[in-house]
Structure 1
Amino acid sequence: MVNFLSCDWGTSSFRLRLVEAQSFRVLAVQESQEGIAATFNRLDLRTRENPEERLRSYLLLIKKYISGIEQEKNTGLAGVPVIISGMASSSIGMANLPYRDLPFSVDGRDIGAAYYDASPGFAHPVLLVSGVRSETDVMRGEETQLIGSVPDNATAADGIYIFPGTHSKHIWVKNGQVTAFKTYMTGELFKLLSEESILREGVEENDNLHNTNYLQHFEDGVRDAQGTNLLHSVFRVRTNSLFGKRSKQENFNYLSGLLIGAELGEITPAETPHVYLCCGSNLKGRYAAALGVLGIKDKAQTFPADWADEAVVRGQVKIYKQFTHST
């Protein structure tokens, strides 16, 4: 495999990358908001209930973006494998694949997946990666990120791997196996509270944590989240505004600190050997600052933002090689 097409298809977004397989160098990118949810909602009932028609509809959408890359690079891509991870293997995706049960190996050898040969209608072999489940939780996509976060020819160190996002994941690794994980609806809850709730009138977006004033209000939120009821503490954002205690931009960072602090609050320094933070530059500063407030900074290792951003690509290649027994 010289090149491959990496498809990271989430609930609300779509990203297709042409990647050089050996170096993981991204040669071209197509992105949109045509996530799995919007794509599924456009299907008529007959297509949704017919597995072959449903799969064909999703592949036609991918084909549109492949054509975009072909035009951009002025080259044909027929025969180039497509590796898909994320929500595409869910109940609203192109095929509903069963979850892999815990534990699983972080080298990708036992991740569930489905393989589809190239066809006249879609001239690319496809590997569709499934998700993982515990007794109380599920994930699709983060397992691929985790596999890609571990360097080649290295054993994953024991500890908690944190993947911040709309639905943040904390993944426990021991002896090269994922033994447990938890989902936290941090990003989604922040969006709902800051844009749809009564709190929206008291906040104004500000991502500048380099400003020591905004950082202080963020850290105050992290501290105030500890040992309190989150349903009560978030109302302080409202009273901060009513009583003139914080500006809208300060409140934005305070609310962010409350939610991230609540997410990370279960991680106790005494019981945590190591923490590995895997996220892009947009959230890296906030989570690193929160770990510092909670006294876990000395036990935490933060992956470089570009390494974290490309983890899906590397994970997809590892899974593909394990699944196809290729090199």
Structure 2
Amino acid sequence: MSRGAYLALDWGTTNRRAYLMADDGAMLDTMRDDRGVLAVGREEYPAELEALRARYGDLPVIAAGMVGSTRGWHEAPYVAAPVDAAGLAAAALVLDDQRFTIVPGVSLLTDTRADVMRGEEVQVLGAVAAGLAPADALFCQPGTHNKWVRTEAGRITGFATAMTGELFALLRDHGILAGMLGGSVADGPAFRDGLARGAGAADLTVALFEVRAGVLLGRRAAEDAAAYASGILIGADVGSQGAGGAIGTVHLLADGNLADLYAAAIAALGGTAVRVDSHAAFLAGIHHLRELIS
């Protein structure tokens, strides 16, 4: 099938996405599967790579995400923020024998905070490179571990990871709220009530127990508990980014229901959500990095 020039991989923890790319950065084909790093033993990566090349052609590969972590194939050490695309390209791990390049992640270490990310930096820098977002911007990348990323002059200067999605999943499946959070989560009165309760809450754990108490005492319908709990968590997450109550413009790298929820939260807390196509941003970022590495 090889009409392409290279393969680009977004190789995450649970999922993997492959893109067949033309030399000018156009995407020719794509596929997604559940062969994330948790599903692949270290000794299995050569076979995984061979299978991808059997499908798309004997092409060089550039990959980002957890494949470069200590749980992946080969570790590509983090690059400390502040960093731009050129800094990431200079630190890329190139495996010449496999014609396989791994983009490093980004680390943050200050007197008070430590944080890391892998893969999200490609989307952020790609959005800037492609003109999908300005060089000075605040990005939000909702997911299991939501990322807030700040860029200045096209460089990642700071970021924060919020375990919002993972906390909701843990509350839904374990503990006192398990069995109460099976309802749908969508923007509506219950979700908005949760946003108001969670935004700026210094007593987040108290607010979460109120989900149960509210249902037991008839204050809230059982079918609304999940939306209310999600609102509390997302409200606390988004609210943490507002200095003096003003969050400003947020470039939202997401789609689907989760993007809708975060857009609603950002607007409810006085900000403006600008949606950015996360797939287009990743492709722009990975192609820019490949050009810099080449």
TM norm. shorter chain > 0.5: yes
Aligned: 1:85 with 2:81 = no
Partner of 1:46: none
SS of 2:179's equivalent in the other structure is helix
TM superposition shift of 1:29: 1.0
**Runs of 4+ that moved beyond 4 A:** 269-273
Partner of 2:204: 230
Task: State which of 214, 220, 228 in structure 1 corresponds to 2:193.
Answer: 220
Amino acid at match of 1:6: A
Q: In the superposition, relative to structure 1, how do residues 24 and 244 fare at CA in structure 2: closer, same or farther (>3 Å)?
A: farther
Task: State which of 262, 271, 284 in structure 2 corresponds to 1:287.
Answer: 262
Q: 2: CA distance between counterparts of 1:273 and 1:312?
A: 24
Partner of 1:322: 292
Q: 2: CA distance between counterparts of 1:313 and 1:249?
A: 39
- Render the CA deviation track for 1:111-150: whole Å, top value 9, x for unaligned: 031112255xxxxx21111101011111111111111222
Q: In the superposition, relative to structure 1, how do residues 249 and 66 fare at CA in structure 2: closer, same or farther (>3 Å)?
A: farther
What are the ranges of 5 or more consecutive residues in structure 1 without an aligned counterpart? 41-53, 71-76, 120-124, 210-214
Partner of 1:137: 115
Contact 1:20 1:27 in 2 (8 A): no
Contact 2:183 2:226 in 1 (8 A): yes
Partner of 2:37: 36
TM superposition shift of 1:310: 3.1
Name the TM-score, length of structure 2 as normaliser: 0.88
Q: In the superposition, relative to structure 1, how do residues 162 and 200 fare at CA in structure 2: closer, same or farther (>3 Å)?
A: same
Aligned: 1:173 with 2:151 = yes
What is the RMSD of the two structures over their aligned residues, measured on CA atoms?
Answer: 2.2
What does residue range 38-187 of structure 1 map to in structure 2 within 5 Å?
38-40=39-41, 54=42, 57-67=44-54, 69-70=55-56, 77-78=57-58, 80-105=59-84, 108-111=85-88, 112-119=91-98, 125-135=99-109, 136-152=114-130, 156-187=134-165
TM superposition shift of 1:30: 3.8
Partner of 1:302: 275
Q: 1: CA distance between counterparts of 2:83 and 2:11?
A: 22
Contact 1:2 1:22 in 2 (8 A): no
Amino acid at match of 1:274: T
Name the TM-score, length of structure 1 as normaliser: 0.80
Q: 1: CA distance between counterparts of 2:264 and 2:63?
A: 33
Q: 1: CA distance between counterparts of 2:229 and 2:24?
A: 43
Amino acid at match of 1:131: G
Contact 2:65 2:103 in 1 (8 A): yes
Q: 2: CA distance between counterparts of 1:246 and 1:159?
A: 38
Q: 1: CA distance between counterparts of 2:130 and 2:171?
A: 40
Q: Aligned pair count?
A: 284
Task: State which of 21, 27, 30 in structure 1 corresponds to 2:29.
Answer: 27
Per mean C-alpha deviation after superposition, the further-off stretch among 5-14 and 165-174 is: 5-14
Q: In the superposition, relative to structure 1, how do residues 4 and 248 fare at CA in structure 2: closer, same or farther (>3 Å)?
A: farther
Identical residues among aligned pairs (%): 31
Q: 1: CA distance between counterparts of 2:142 and 2:116?
A: 15
TM superposition shift of 1:252: 1.1
